Amino acid sequence: MLVIRLQRTGRENNPTYRLVVSEKARHAKKGTLEILGHFLPSIKEPLFKFEKERVMYWIGKGAKPSDTVARLLKKNGLEKMDGFILSYTKQKPRKEVKAETPAPAVKTEEAAK
């Protein structure tokens, strides 16, 4: 299965990312089929550039963007990304189960007889 995802590049503490198409089972840095753009999150105004036509081509061929990539693409004007964005729901708080310990048996004179 093909996936459009971010491939981390750049120095330590200064990440940059490439937008790549690759097989899902492969390592993120190996076996990329095509580089579609780049993402620079560590500057004042994060820069995300991509080739819209190529992204739509690969989606048409069956590639699925990762959740993060789908969110970035939607934010930058690409439509029809809602189907790829995972919706997270807040977990309900767990009910506290109080373990009721049985009361110690009280010996009475009548029960002893």
Domain locations in the chain as residue ranges? 2-84
d(CA 87, CA 89): 7
The pLDDT value recorded for residue 59 is 93
The closest of 42, 32, 44, 45 to 6, measured between CA atoms, is: 32
Each residue's pLDDT tens digit, 4-38: 999 999 999 999 999 999 988 888 778 889 999 99
| pTM for the full predicted model | 0.73
Q: Which CATH architecture has domain 2-84?
A: 2-Layer Sandwich (3.30)
Closest CA to 47 of 19, 24, 81, 23: 19
Helix (H) or strand (E) holding 87: none
Least confident of 6-20, 52-66, 69-83, 93-107: 93-107
Per-residue confidence band for 39, with pLDDT thresholds at 50, 70 and 90? very high
Average pLDDT in the chain: 85
